[in-house]
Structures are given as C-alpha cells and as structure tokens.
A and B are shown apart, each in its own frame.
Chain A
Amino acid sequence: MQKQSWYRMAALTSVVLLAGSPQALAQDAPGPTNKKIAYSPYPAKTFPNRVYFGDTHLHTSYSADAGMAGAIVGPEEAYRFARGEEVKSNSGLRVKLQRPLDFLVVADHAENLGLAPMIAESDPGLLKSEWGKKVHDLAKTGTIEGQGAAFNMWIAAMQELKDPFKGQEATMAQPAWKRITAAAEKYNEPGRFTAIIGFEWTSGPNGDNLHRNVLFRDGKDKADQIIPLSYYDTGDPEELWKWMAAYEQKTGGRMLAIPHNGNLSNGLMFDDVTLTTKKPLDRDYAERRMRWEPIYETTQPKGDGETHPALSRNDEFANFERWDKGSFGPVLKTPDMLPREYTRETFKRGLAYEAKLGVNPFKFGLVGSTDMHTGLATTTEDNFFGKVAVLEPTADPIRFDEVIVGRVPADRARSNQHLARETSASGLAAVWARDNTREALWDAMARKEVYATTGTRLQVRVFGGFDFTAQDMERSDFAEQGYRRGVPMGGDLKAAPAGKAPTMLIRAMRDADGANLDRVQVIKGWLDAAGKTHEKIYDVAWSGSRKPGKDGKLPAVGNTVNVKEASYTNAIGAPYLTAHWKDPAFDAKQRAFYYVRVLEIPTPRWTTFDAKIFGVKLPTDVPASIQERAYTSPIWYTPK
C-alpha cells in the first residue's frame, strides 16, 4: 500500500533508504545501556527525548456550563478516561480512547466552582457530627423537594449552625477546588500519566473571549493554598498576572496561563492596547505578558487559530475550521479585528513590537487542546464526543444544529452563527520532554518546546541553527547535534554569523494509528527595513513525486476518502518526512520567525463518520474530509 509513496518520498527528500547498505539513521544514537532506566534510550543525555501528548483544557461536570448542559462526568472519571479506561459518557454511552493520553489538565471554570455543599471538608469530623448526620439522613430520605421530617431537621440543623460559613476556610469554591486537586493527586503517576492541576479563568467582557487556563507546576499542597481566581474577581489579564505572582510568592510554586480562542475575542486577544486602561502596549506589559503566558492554545473545537484566509491570502490551507462570525456577545466580526485574533499575524506584529519596544509581547509557543465540556478528552474524528454533553453521539439533529456562537441577539441571522456541526474534533498539546512528570511537562511549556496538533498524534521535531548540513539530518545523534549546535522549537537564534542563514532540520512522523503525511512546510514571517511585516510559506518535504507548479505551489496530495463509508487509505502520503532547509531569502538585519506546519493526507471529518454511523444526512456546509495538521512553536531570529 505504501510502496510507491515510499520511494517517491525518498527520492524527493533525500532520505536514502536502501536496506543493507548502512547509511540512514536513527534519530538519536543510543547511549550506554542502563538496565535500571525504563524507556529512556539515552540515559547519559539530558535533552528532551520524546514527545508527550495531552490535553491542557478539559471541563468536567464541575464547570457550571458543562453541568448545565448535562455533564455528569466529574474529575475522577475524566482522569480515568484519559488514562485509557472505559467510562460511561454523560448520555450513558460506553467510551474509551484508542490510546491513553500522557497527561491531562482538568481545567474547570473558576466561576461557580461552588459545587460542594455547605459542609466543611477541612473538618472530617463534621459529617460525624449531629449536623452531618442530619445532612446524611436527608440524602438518604431524599426529600429535597418535599417536606418530610428529615428535611425540617436539616433546615433546623442549618439554623442551629447560625453561621453557615462556620468551619469553612473560605468559600463554597474551596471544597470543590480541593476535590479537583485531590483527583489530580490521585491519578498523577509520574512516568506513566501526569495529572496537572489547573483551572480556567473565564474573562469575557461583552462576550469577547479572553479566557485563560492556568496551569500549576505544583502539587495539591501548594495549589490548595489558593482559590482559583474567577471572572467575578477580575476580567483583566493584567490582574490575573498579579494574582499569579502573588501565588508564586506565597507558595514558592510556579504557574503559567494559556489563553485560547482569540478568534472569538473580537480583536481583544492580541490587542494593541491594554484591556482596562486602553494604553498602548509598552515594554513592561510585553515583559509581563511573556512572563506569565509563554504559550497559546491555537486550535480547539471552537475553531482553528493559526491564520485566516483574509490574512494569509496566499495560503491554500488557511481556511481550516474557521470560526469568524463574532464572539459570544452581540457584536459581529469585522475585518479589522482579524489581525488581533490569529497567531501567525500576531507573531508578525510581535516582531514590529519588538523593534519598537525592545521586547516582543507576542513571542509565545503553540499548543492545541480540547476545551470539551464532557469530561471526555476525545480528539479524533472517529471518536468525537461533542463539545457538551447534549451533543454526544446521537442521530438527533441537535448534534449538528445546536447554535454555539451567535445565540444573541435571538434574531441573529443564520449566516452569523456557528453551529455544532462546525465544531472541530481538535486538538492536542504535544510536549517535548524527558520525563512524563508535572515538572518536566510544565518546564517544556514554559520554554515553549511544544506544538499543537488538530487532534492526531503526529510527531514533529525541528532544530534551527546556522551551520546545519544535509548530513546532519542523517546523523545518528541528530537530536544531540540539534541541541548542541542549534535550538529547538520555541528557541531563539540571534545575530547570524556573516554569510550564514538560519537552517532548519526537521523530522516528522505520522500518528502510529493515523494517516500518512502530505507535506512539511516552513512558515516564515519577517519585518522589513521599512517596518512592514511579511509572510511566506515554503514546502520543504512532501510525499510522492509531485513537482511545484509555475506558481511555486505544490499540487495537492490527492484524496482517498470514501465519504459514504467514512474511510480512507494510506495509499497516498508518506509515513515520515524529513527536511534540511536553509532560508533562501535571509536578511541578517531583519527580525524573523520560522515555524513548521505538517499536513496529513485528507481523512474523513467527524460529521462524515456521523453520517455513516447514524445514517443522517451529510451536512453540506462543512467539508466531508479535512487535513489534520500540526503547528510547531516558532524559532525566532533576532539581529544584533
């Protein structure tokens, strides 16, 4: 099946493949054998040696909007599911991941976290008290809506307490928070599965999405010293950063925040002015923003945030899972908002800011995540459990037709709405690290050695340097050379030596259970001498014998998708691609960034699986097949 594609790929990507003549080459030469170390082929080395896939953004029934929409899967089940266990979905379906995730962040909304009843979890004796017993009696008799004796006892007991807050350290939110952190602690298993503690701060002025997920590097002991900050406390990210600083100072712990859905922010996510004071961004703001928000979630169910066709007119892959009708508020999207919403354009603007301020306020890395409100971190098209519980797999039209964006005003035109069928079965956060631990994963996020995928586990690695050669691509100590003589994704190249240009070494490999790769691209953005920004896309490796046309465009890879059967074959594409690429138009005096985009061959979209499985009509306003993809964090070039 892969016969032809293999040889064509080899010819084009200079991967020599003749078996029997030793020449091409493993990613890393193994180090000395050390039997004690599990799954660490390079024990003498310290650099990241594998990629971990997870979700930094999952809601459970503890999020009020999830609970309202029918979610009953709580944090414990969410972690069990991510670890690969079968659980019952919110609608009672049996559900399981094809392969377990390596890590998960349960990031419930801080708002309305007050799930737990007014009992003091900090006081285990309380339930053994008279009052606790009465509450229990109530639970047993179940007269919440009735007027039985137990109910009256309960009311009386509550009144006896006089102070309903008695025994509580703080608010209703705290017990719920402690249950969430307890679940994380319980299912965190270094080396096998990492449960990172986190929550979502849900700022949404006028319905414009400024949400951030806050991730702790720490365990429950430190996380329990605070209550998650909510939108009720403040809607200004700068206040959030202050709050994060206070946490670090108090506990000695570490935090980072991951914003998402700039596409639903109506231009506020990467605005040119501060939110509250509307002051132009300054150096101090830029430093603080990058101190607290090193990475950004650029792809998720409510749309892909890499770029927009209006911003990247020469990018035939730009129109991907696009949500651009507005925010959650009543204001419709206008074209002027777009540059302040999408990551590629924002990277470009960041270069201009850096030239002006001395610091780049938008120098962030990229991840994807699910933002599912089901407690089920599903990311593949064939296992899409919907954004919220009522949209779980069903033949009911609600699964396609529910309005997600554009519910206000009520008479909003259909053309200005986004419906459930437009929801993208996306995405994953891929993290290059050495160990599957909270510390190792968090540190990789902080240094931006991460990338986003739209839901599949395709692997990509890139190193940028000034003296890489094509032979380095084939070296058995590829990664060690990459780190020693260059920088990985998320890194910085500075002051190019005379006559040298940034050179990228790239390896990409498809998901073990997924589709072949179409192509690898380097996307370059730069700031010219006149202060204008530009972007250019380079195809650097591809499958088959395709040749770029006169317009420089590589022909499409083809499409094997059988829409009726919701199937495809790997008869096209390549299982892995490699590239050694040198910037052909480099100007050492100009600021630039480079990131890698890897595209898979077309595969059926989740709506196509639905049409097949439930026999429902295939929607015509979403594509039947899509090309899943990965976006790496950029490597930035800064002149002297």
Chain B
Amino acid sequence: MIRKLLREPVLHFLLIGIALFAAYGLVAPRDKVGTRIVVGQAVVDALAREHRARWQRPPGEQELAGLVEAYVRDEIFYREGVALGLERDDPVIKRRVRQKLEVIAEEQQARDAPNDADLAAYLAQHADRFARPGTISFEQILLPAAATAAEVTAARVSAIRGADPAQLGQSSMLPPRAENVPLDLAARDFGSGFAADIAKLPPNEWAGPVRSSFGQHLVRVTARTPSVLPPLEGVRAAVAREWENERRVASLAESYTKLRSQYEVVIEAKQVPSIATR
C-alpha cells in the first residue's frame, strides 16, 4: 500500500510543492488561490530543462506539450486538494516538509568552510578518531582447532627449520602472509580477537598458537608500526568531513531546540511509550 500510494502522481506533486503552497493556502483565501494558471516562459523553460537533464536531449514539440499539460494538471489537482485541506494531517507531507526545513537548517552550516585553525583544533581534540591504526606484517599457519600440542609443535619445528609456511597447515581462504595491514582490517578477515592477540606477539618468531574462529594459528610477526596521529595535512579530508558532520548535526539539533522552545507541547495522553523502553 505504501509503495502503491507513493506512486500516485497527484500525491507526488503534493509532496514536491507542499512547502510553499500548503502554507500559502493557509493565509490566502480560496478565491485568492485563484482559478487562473499562468504558464510563463520561465515555467516552460524549466520543464524543458528538466527533460533535458533527464534524457540528455531537449524535449520534442509533442513532449513539451505533454509536459505542460502535466504541469497544468498537477497544478489544478494540487490547488483543489489544498483547497479541500487534503494536505493537512498527512504524514507523508508533514515528513517531507520537515525534511525540507531540516535541509535548510543543515545547509546553513555547510556554507561555512572550515579553516586550518578550525581543523587543527578539531584534530587535536579528537586525536583518537584520526589516529592511523597500527599496522602489522605477519605470516600465519592455520591448524585445526582440535590440533594437539604435539601437532602444533611439529608444525612450529617445520617452520623454524625453513619449510615454506605457505605450504604448512590447512588450505583455507585466509591469506598466508599479510603486509602492513591495518589491525582493524586484519580483524575483518581473522576476527577481532585474533587481531588483538597478534598485536601483542613477540616479533620474528613462530609464536602462538593464536586462536581464531577458524582454528589455531602459528604466527610470525615480521613488522609492526604503532598507531600514529598524522599531521593535519595527512588527514585533512577526514577531519574536514567529521568537522562538517558535527556542525551539520549540531545545526540541526540547535534549529530544533530553538523551534521547540517556541512551542508549548502538551501531552495529554496517559501512556506515552518512551523511546528508551522500546
């Protein structure tokens, strides 16, 4: 029903134009809404532009006539609908209008580009969010979860004696060797417990076994870099993104808070389920 309803062209137009005209209808008496529809050159040009933007070519004569007719039809049904008050208490329209105002509120902030000082301060303030994760290079040999201590030792001895680790243990889809992998990406493949465990292993020896959900791993860590906080130049895009996002969210919240303070909200209902209990 929802989808079906949303495909109704009449509703569609209601959605699009409502911010302006629903409001207009409230202040303008019916006769002032008017039974006169003027399709100016600007409107026709806009319809043609829209067609061109969509189809990558200008509309033909007939197509343009069709677009104008559709515009007029939309306009008429729209005005009639508004005159009947059909836009009121319609959750779709309410939500759309709200979204539009929210966009305006968000856009206000988006206009101000941050400068270096803003970003540097933001970076310093949220160092943990921008620190590059530590990386690790390692080789691993996968053994069954049920392999005995003796089997693990045997594999370790083989590896220490120089057997190719890629030829030891299980065939699986896990990489036998990883170079400079950020620890968080290693966690995506091997699981988070494994990634945390290998971060603590002594380097350059066949250590372990380290358990993962796939089995037991002998692991030789060959290189490790610590987590570092890059200078601003290294993370400018990410910092700017987060800075802007925070402003966007704050701007929206602030806009709502201000508006809310101007309303008296009376909740008369006895039972209002709070979000927290849902």
User: Shortest Cβ distance from A629 into chain B, in angstroms?
Assistant: 17
Question: Would you list which residues of chain B between 14 and 30 have a CB under 8 Å from chain A?
Answer: 15-16, 19-20, 23-24, 26-27
Q: Beta-carbon contacts of A299-323 to B below 8 Å, as 1s and 0s?
A: 0000000000000000000000000
**Binding-face segment, B78-86, B104-112, B119-127, B199-207:** B104-112
Partner of A19, one of B4, B20, B151, B187: B151
Partner of A114, one of B15, B137, B173, B188: B15
Contacts of B178 in A (CB 8 A): 39, 41
User: Shortest Cβ distance from A403 into chain B, in angstroms?
Assistant: 8
Question: Would you list which residues of chain A between 6 and 22 have a CB under 8 Å from chain B?
Answer: 6-7, 10, 15, 17-22
Interface residue range, chain A: 35 or more
* A174 is an interface residue with CB less than 8 A from chain B: yes
User: Shortest Cβ distance from B16 into chain A, in angstroms?
Assistant: 5
* A48 is an interface residue with CB less than 8 A from chain B: no
* B275 is an interface residue with CB less than 8 A from chain A: yes
Contact B12 A232 (CB under 8 A): yes
List the B residue with the shortest CB-CB distance to A136: B108
Contacts of B259 in A (CB 8 A): 140-142
* A473 is an interface residue with CB less than 8 A from chain B: yes
Question: Would you list which residues of chain B between 146 and 201 have a CB under 8 Å from chain A?
Answer: 146-147, 151-155, 157-158, 163-164, 166-182, 185, 187-192
Contact B158 A144 (CB under 8 A): no
* B77 is an interface residue with CB less than 8 A from chain A: no
* A111 is an interface residue with CB less than 8 A from chain B: yes
User: Shortest Cβ distance from A444 into chain B, in angstroms?
Assistant: 17
* B266 is an interface residue with CB less than 8 A from chain A: no
Contact A26 B167 (CB under 8 A): yes
User: Shortest Cβ distance from A36 into chain B, in angstroms?
Assistant: 8
* B227 is an interface residue with CB less than 8 A from chain A: no
Contact A25 B9 (CB under 8 A): no
Contact A6 B158 (CB under 8 A): no
* A347 is an interface residue with CB less than 8 A from chain B: no
List the A residue with the shortest CB-CB distance to B40: A163
User: Shortest Cβ distance from B189 into chain A, in angstroms?
Assistant: 7
Contacts of A407 in B (CB 8 A): 1-2, 4
Partner of A139, one of B95, B101, B185: B101
Contacts of B258 in A (CB 8 A): 140, 142
Q: How far is the CA of A226 from the CA of B53 in the complex (A)?
A: 5
* B144 is an interface residue with CB less than 8 A from chain A: yes
Known: A33-B179, A93-B278. A250 touches B56 (CB 8 A): yes
**Binding-face segment, A59-67, A273-281, A485-493:** A59-67
Q: Which of B43, B95, B107 has the most CB of A within 10 A?
A: B107
Known: A38-B180, A512-B190. A67 touches B158 (CB 8 A): no
Contact B167 A476 (CB under 8 A): yes
* A187 is an interface residue with CB less than 8 A from chain B: yes
Contacts of A578 in B (CB 8 A): 171
Contact B27 A114 (CB under 8 A): no
Q: Which of A140, A226, A329, A570 has the most CB of B within 10 A?
A: A140
22 residue pairs of the A-B complex, CB under 8 angstroms, read A2-B144, A2-B146, A19-B147, A22-B163, A24-B170, A30-B166, A39-B180, A41-B179, A49-B175, A65-B2, A92-B276, A93-B278, A117-B101, A139-B255, A140-B259, A141-B262, A142-B263, A147-B27, A165-B46, A170-B54, A187-B241, A514-B213
B-binding residues in A (CB < 8 A):
1-4, 6-7, 10, 15, 17-30, 33-41, 43, 49-50, 61, 64-65, 67-70, 76, 80, 91-93, 99-100, 102, 111-112, 114-119, 121, 124, 127-128, 135-136, 139-142, 144-145, 147, 151-152, 154-155, 158, 162-166, 168-172, 174, 179, 186-187, 189, 192, 202, 204, 207, 226-227, 229, 231-233, 243, 246-247, 249-250, 328-329, 388, 393-396, 403, 407-408, 459, 461, 473-474, 476, 478, 507-510, 512-514, 570, 575-576, 578
A-binding residues in B (CB < 8 A):
1-4, 6-7, 9, 12, 15-16, 19-20, 23-24, 26-27, 40, 42-43, 45-46, 49-50, 52-57, 91-92, 95-97, 99-101, 103-105, 107-108, 111, 135, 137, 143-147, 151-155, 157-158, 163-164, 166-182, 185, 187-192, 212-215, 223, 238, 241, 244-245, 248, 255, 258-259, 262-263, 275-276, 278
